[in-house]
Structure 1
Amino acid sequence: MKTAPIVAIAAAGGLIALSAGMWVATQWGRGDDRFAQCRAGAVAGDIGGPFELLNAAGETVSDADVITEPTLLYFGYTFCPDVCPMDNARNAEATDLLAEAGYSVTPAMITLDPARDTPEVMGDYVTNFHDKMIGLSGTPEQVDAAAKAYRVYYKINDPDEEFYLVDHSAFTYLVLPGEGFVDYVRRDVTPEQLSERAACFIDHM
């Protein structure tokens, strides 16, 4: 894992990282859930789904192109002064811990600020965290559709200002090929805890 630069932004206020609780879905408590022992929590309703975005080369990619192995999916933006760098660094460290234990996963980040985070910007940004990390951008409509699919809250503040901030929820989603979304982690989860939980899900695929 490489050291990520933390962007210092002189602006009033700060990033609001929402960490509102999520309710446990009744159906996920049933005995036919093979992942039940891996879950520390679950969300009610449908989370995740298909998306089309742009990779670092500016090519249109779908969720099937991106999620080819267990994926730690995060929504944020490159101008984020503190939360996003820390969360991405945590996900990158968990990726390395899993690799040491024999598991291959991909960390990925979808921007919530496509106006500034072009495909090239995203590609440069994610390489600061991990060689495997995928950075995704797209049109505002594509980004919004992906965010809504994962129930991500975000709000662009004062977009006419040069150093505007984006309020957003701060969860990392574990997505498995052939399964889709299976779990989420809050930002207070450590790399060790994240890697252990992800390994449990992978073992039960």
Structure 2
Amino acid sequence: MNRRAMTYLLRRFAFLALGLALAVPLAACQQQSSAEAPPLEGAAIGGPFTLIDKDGKTVTWDQFKGRWRIVYFGYTFCPDACPLDVQAMMRGFSLFEKAHAAQAAKVQPIFITIDPARDTPKVVGEWTAAFGPRLLGLTGSPDQIDKAAKAFASYYKKGEETPGGYLMDHSRIAFLMDPDGKPIAMLPIDKGPEEVSAELAKWVK
């Protein structure tokens, strides 16, 4: 992630840190709940979208109501970051599924492209299939993608042309959303599958 993308994300999440800082004095004066609050509780992340799956069928955010969701924005022509992130995400999900089958059945992993010009439904479907049958790949028109990315505070921008084609600059976050579509946590995909599995086990009940 470049400096511009990092600055964008820090600004979007700054209010979370401020909210937590202000809550500390108040919390010290009140009886604490035994349950830990989700890191992204109250954050303005997530929202309605209308996209397209590998079969060209319309998929909306509301269709997942009642299910936990893992949401990652990337693109299939990404040479390294996206494959590594999604591999860690889905391997972590697989470990979680083996240990907590009933809970995992209520989770929908979702990959949303930020490169609709090249990522057709077929391309996205073939790419996500390489990471397991549970990963749902979505694409759409540029406007649809832009709306979805903005709802999830996900930064992306088309980069310069290279001999192998242009690259996309983008944020690298796997959001865990609850059954009501509210943000819970950012999965630690940078720390490996075991950490991803542990974070899912912490929240998905």
- Give the TM-score taking structure 1 as reference length: 0.79
Moved more, 183-192 or 141-150: 183-192
- Gapped regions of structure 2 (runs ≥ 5): none
* 77, 81, 84: which one aligns with 2:79: 81
Q: Paired residue for 2:52?
A: 54
> Shift of the alpha carbon at 1:184?
1.4
Do the aligned partners of residues 125 and 33 (structure 1) sit closer, same or farther apart at CA in structure 2, a change above 3 Å counting? farther
RMSD in angstroms over aligned alpha carbons?
3.0
Moved more, 182-191 or 93-102: 182-191
Do the aligned partners of residues 200 and 186 (structure 1) sit closer, same or farther apart at CA in structure 2, a change above 3 Å counting? closer
> Shift of the alpha carbon at 1:72?
1.5
2:49, 2:144 within 8 Å by CA — same for their partners in 1? yes
Q: Paired residue for 1:37?
A: 36
> Shift of the alpha carbon at 1:135?
0.2
Moved more, 28-37 or 120-129: 28-37
Superimposed CA distance per residue, residues 42-73 of structure 1 (whole angstroms, 9 cap, x where no aligned partner): 37741111111001111111012246522221
Do the aligned partners of residues 184 and 190 (structure 1) sit closer, same or farther apart at CA in structure 2, a change above 3 Å counting? same
Moved more, 126-135 or 17-26: 17-26
* 117, 138, 143: which one aligns with 2:140: 138
Identity of aligned residues (%): 34
Look at both structures and tell me which one has the larger radius of gyration over its CA atoms.
Answer: 2
Q: Distance in 2 between matches of 1:95 and 1:137?
A: 22
Q: Distance in 2 between matches of 1:113 and 1:188?
A: 22
Aligned positions of 1:120-139 closer than 5 A:
120-139=122-141
> Shift of the alpha carbon at 1:38?
6.0
Q: 1:188 aligns to what SS in structure 2?
A: helix
2:46, 2:181 within 8 Å by CA — same for their partners in 1? no
Do the aligned partners of residues 43 and 70 (structure 1) sit closer, same or farther apart at CA in structure 2, a change above 3 Å counting? closer
Q: 1:148 aligns to what SS in structure 2?
A: helix
1:95, 1:106 within 8 Å by CA — same for their partners in 2? no
